[in-house]
Amino acid sequence: MTCDPYDFTGKVALVTGGGRGLGLEMSRALAERGADLVLASRKLDILEKAATPMREIGRKVETVACHVGRWGEIDTLVERAYSVFGRVDILINNAGMSPSIESSVSATEALIDSVLALNFKGPYRLSALIGERMKAAGGGSIINISSVGALRPHYGFSPYAGAKAALNALTFAHAIEFGPTVRVNAIVPGSFRTDIADHWPVEREAQTPAIAGRYGRPEEIVTAMLYLASEQSSFTTGSLIRVDGGRP
């Protein structure tokens, strides 16, 4: 009998922003493959709605209201995860925000601070706390969800692009710090048809510069995540994996 390399039975995954969009898609995929989960975001009602079908298939799911940009709340999230499950095998730093600005000079200090807090400082702290515990336990996988904007910044999104570029650098730095037993990688998505995309102009997708000529479907993030979360990626760390439809 061939062993399924993507069977996560007995594993625990913590996913920030796990109640909607790409975070929900990745959480659902892990649950369907046997993982128990800790789902975190600012809105508990959204998390509970996401957790219901996962619990119905037998998964244990802990939902935690947490603003990932606030270190005190992150500390509480980590303690909750370990008190309930005693371990975290997979950490997915997915929560983020990408507000647009009219110009760099118009951006307020408060906006810059909030973008950096959620997209960089939060993942920094969460990875630091869990990475140390993973290393002590003998291994684990940390997956940062970056953005193609970090590599190809667009006008009006410089705070977000800068924060995600910092996350890319952190990916490699933490791969060194927590390696070789803990693998730290980043997925670099392009534009996806999540609920956020529902608010974009209809013609925007037709104008995408991606070679694929369209936006990604949320489920198309799953294969890259499963690879990085599993032992199939045992020789992959400090890497950025683009899932962007071939953005030039």
The whole model's pTM is what? Answer: 0.95
DSSP letter assigned to residue 239: -
Q: Return the half-sphere exposure (C-beta side, CA atoms, 13 A cut-off) of residue 35.
A: 27
For residues 117 and 19, what is the distance between their CA atoms, to the nearest angstrom?
20
Q: Which CATH number fits domain 12-243: 3.40.190.10, 3.40.140.80, 3.40.50.720, 1.20.1260.10?
A: 3.40.50.720
Query: Which amino acid is residue 210, in one-letter code?
Result: A
Length of the chain: 248
Q: What is the pLDDT along the chain (248 residues), one digit of tens a residue?
A: 558 899 999 999 999 999 999 999 999 999 999 999 999 999 999 999 999 999 999 999 999 999 999 999 999 999 999 999 999 999 999 999 887 888 899 899 999 999 999 999 999 999 999 999 999 999 999 999 999 999 988 887 899 999 999 999 999 999 999 999 999 999 999 989 887 666 667 778 888 889 999 989 999 999 999 999 999 999 999 999 999 999 98
Q: What is the model's pLDDT at position 1?
A: 52
Q: Where in the sequence numbering do the catalytic residues fall?
A: 160
Pairing of strands 140-145, 90-93: parallel
- Name the phi and psi angles at 127, rounded to 5: -65, -35
Cα separations in angstroms, 14 against 38, 43, 59, 199:
5, 16, 13, 28
- Give the residue from 62, 13, 19, 47 showing the smallest Cα distance to 33: 13
> What are the DSSP calls for 65-112, one per residue?
E--TT-HHHHHHHHHHHHHHHS--SEEEE--------S-GGG--HHHH
CB contact set of 230 (below 8 Å; sequence gap of 6+): 5, 6, 8, 141
Q: Supply the pLDDT for residue 6.
A: 94
